[in-house]
Chain A
Amino acid sequence: MVAIPSKHRSLTLLAGVLIAQLLMLAVQIKRDSHGRLIRVWAISAAYPFERSGAWGFGKIRGVWTHYFALHSTAQENEALRIENDALKLTIAQLQSRAAEADRLAAILNFKQSHEEVPLVAARVIAASAGTASRTVEIDRGERDGIKLNMAVITPDGAVGKVIEVFGSTAQVLLLTDKDGGAGAMLVDSRTQGVVGGTGEPMMQMKFVANEDTVGIGEKIVTSGMDKIFPKDIPIGTVLETKPGNPFKQIRVQPAAKLDRLEAVIVLLSQAPVEFKTETQSAPSTSTTQNATPGTPAAAEKP
């Protein structure tokens, strides 16, 4: 009798031979876009494991990172918070400097465009200590040619006048002070009066007859009659008007930002200063009354 290989053995041999030939075919066959078939098979076979592995490692790493490896997170968080605060402070400083640069640029621009007018640019270095008065201190004084009663303005409009002069500093009385004021004129009606402070942010125009026509939003400029401010410097805008006794009560919004002064211009003479846009009149929108000539001339309050 001959020892015939068992069915199991021959089946194993068949499977081995077929697999070997399939692999051999795969090595030879080259797909157009995927390279050799054996490579396609290898990648296809490995892909699920690679994807599972990547997913598993990603999860493990995520769990480790978010739940276990937090020993330095609090410290890092604190450092970031401190850094964030420092950055916020830096940003605020930079914004402040940028704003200051803008203001100085406006002053410089104004100065350059009025070279014929003798003026001095000054920086506001202090303000009044109390609410009883509205004054500011500037870093220019007698050495810079500053004298008493010189007009102080900004590119936006009138600010006030110099009331005290020291060697290198001076004090400026703002128009909003109770004692501050300037000879004023309504741009549209050419009605003259006096704009003075009330101790509040808003000013008041006085000595305008009830019969005079004053429109809300009407521009007010200096009249030049006070011998301090040159003519036609913007003072403000009519905010509210109502009949009074004996004169009309007119509230005025200052043209210059008197509550946020940081840089000003001191006019060394009364030479006229031309404001290009500020003197444009705005359309009247409110009360219309009969004008009465003979309004008192503007004058600085004592």
Chain B
Amino acid sequence: MNDTYELHGGETHIEVHKFYPGAVVLVAAAALVFQATVPVYFPRLNILELPLLVTIYFGLSRRNPSTGLLLGMTIGWAQDALSGPTVPIGYYGIAKTVIGYLASSIGARLDTEHPAARFSLIFAFYVVHQAVLVLVRRVLLAQPEQWFNVHLTIAAAVNALLGTVLFLGLDRLRRSA
């Protein structure tokens, strides 16, 4: 199998990237461990959502909605499991499943290699991700939760900025054509 494929959508040619063996698992695991440990020592870093960024990145890169949503679901479940007994399994799973599907679907149609595009997409995906979480919390858990606030905007911007940088690093894990 080739490492890189091309999707032909009209006049555009979109590449489908493959990664070194174990790269996806290791990166996802690292993001989860970071998310679970670092904020303990640096509470301000709680604003970061590395599992989400990983989900977005591999979704945009693989450009396969089925793979993307399954990867998002898996990362979400792991995040749920690491979040303690108060978070039911599926809480982050649902949100990241949706994000994985959307990222893969959009990645299959748009060129998401440009940093500006990545920044915008990460910002939007972060908002959607939080919206799904709020929806689940309000509807299923019957807990009052504000839909949007300034903190959300700042968090979305911070994660978008971090994601844009992080994605450049993750690009190095791609197999070359």
Contacts and interface: CB of A to CB of B under 8 A. Distances in A.
B73 A21 contact: yes
A28 interface: yes
A190 B98 CA distance: 117
A10 interface: yes
A222 to B, nearest CB: 94
Contacts of B140: 22, 25-26, 29, 37
Contact of A14 (B65, B90, B108): B65
Interface string B7-40: 1000000001000000000000000000000000
Contacts of A80: none
B69 A28 contact: no
A7 to B, nearest CB: 7
A25 B91 contact: yes
Interface in A1-36: 1-2, 4-5, 7, 9-11, 13-14, 17-18, 21-22, 24-26, 28-29, 31
A9 B66 contact: yes
Interface in B80-136: 88-91, 93-94, 97-98, 101, 104-105, 108, 136
Given A4-B64, A17-B70, A37-B140, A10 B101 contact: yes
Contacts of B104: 10
Contact of A2 (B5, B91, B105, B142): B5
Nearest to A25: B90
Contacts of B90: 21-22, 24-25, 28
Max chain B Cβ within 10 angstroms of own Cβ: one of A2, A10, A29: A10
A14 B64 contact: no
Contacts of B141: 29
In terms of DSSP, what is the predominant structure of the interface of chain A? helix
A262 B161 CA distance: 115
Interface residues of A, number: 21
Contacts of B136: 25
Nearest to A23: B90
Interface residues on B, range: 20 to 34
Contacts of B64: 4-5, 10
A28 B89 contact: yes
A28 B81 CA distance: 13
A7 B98 CA distance: 14
A10 B106 CA distance: 13
Residue of A7, A11, A17, A26 with highest tally of chain B CB at under 10 A: A17
A26 B141 CA distance: 9
A2 B66 CA distance: 14
Contacts of A26: 140
B66 A25 contact: no
A11 B91 CA distance: 20
B80 to A, nearest CB: 10
B101 A14 contact: yes
A2 B7 CA distance: 9
Given A2-B16, A4-B64, A14-B69, A21 B93 contact: yes
Q: Which of A9, A11, A24 has its CB near the most chain B CB atoms (within 10 A)?
A: A24
Contact of B69 (A2, A13, A31): A13
B73 A7 contact: no
A4 B7 contact: yes
A28 B80 CA distance: 12
Contacts of A25: 88-91, 94, 136, 140
A300 to B, nearest CB: 102
Given A4-B7, A18-B94, A29-B141, A13 B66 contact: yes
Interface in A169-205: none
Contacts of B108: 4
A178 B148 CA distance: 113
Contact of A10 (B66, B88, B94, B98): B66
Interface of A: 1-2, 4-5, 7, 9-11, 13-14, 17-18, 21-22, 24-26, 28-29, 31, 37
8 contacts: A2-B16, A4-B108, A5-B64, A5-B65, A10-B64, A14-B65, A25-B94, A31-B142
In the A-B complex, list the 4 residue pairs whose CB atoms are closest, starting with the nearest: A10-B65, A28-B88, A21-B90, A25-B90
Given A4-B7, A25-B136, 19 more contacts: A2-B5, A4-B64, A5-B64, A7-B65, A7-B105, A9-B66, A10-B64, A14-B65, A14-B98, A21-B94, A24-B88, A24-B89, A24-B90, A25-B89, A25-B94, A25-B140, A28-B90, A29-B141, A31-B142
